[in-house]
Amino acid sequence: MEAFEWMAWTGPSATFFAVIFAILVGMTVWDLRSPSVPRRGFLPLETTRGDRLFIGLLGSAYVNLLWIGVTTLSPWYSLAMAVVLLALVMRYG
């Protein structure tokens, strides 16, 4: 057995990281073209687009972990809920 084993990339994990990378590149380009201005939404602090993205991604991760830990239903439902949560935080947060 080798002393160091490489991570086995699966299609879903590669897609996940590719989507996160694409979101970060898109947000970088957007911020370079139109700098973000801090604003207040339903979150209890002033946030920029990057702050809301981070909070939304973190919240989406918690939704997925909670879903997997509490239910035996398909994880696709939690993915849909996580995307809705991210959209709400990005728009109104």
pLDDT digits (tens, 9 = 90+) for 16-29: 889 899 999 999 99
48 is written with which tokens? Answer: 């920029």
Task: State how far the alpha carbon of 90 is from the alpha carbons of 20, 51, 56, in Å.
Answer: 15, 9, 7
What's the one-letter identity of residue 7? M
Confidence check: pLDDT of 2 > 80: no
91 is written with which tokens? Answer: 């728009």
Average pLDDT over residues 66-78: 89
Confidence check: pLDDT of 8 > 90: no
Q: Which of the four pLDDT bands, split at 50, 70 and 90, describes residue 4?
A: low
Q: Domain residue spans in the chain? A: 11-92
More reliable by pLDDT, 24 or 11: 24
pLDDT computed for residue 3 by the predictor: 63
CA–CA dist 25, 64 (Å, integer):
24
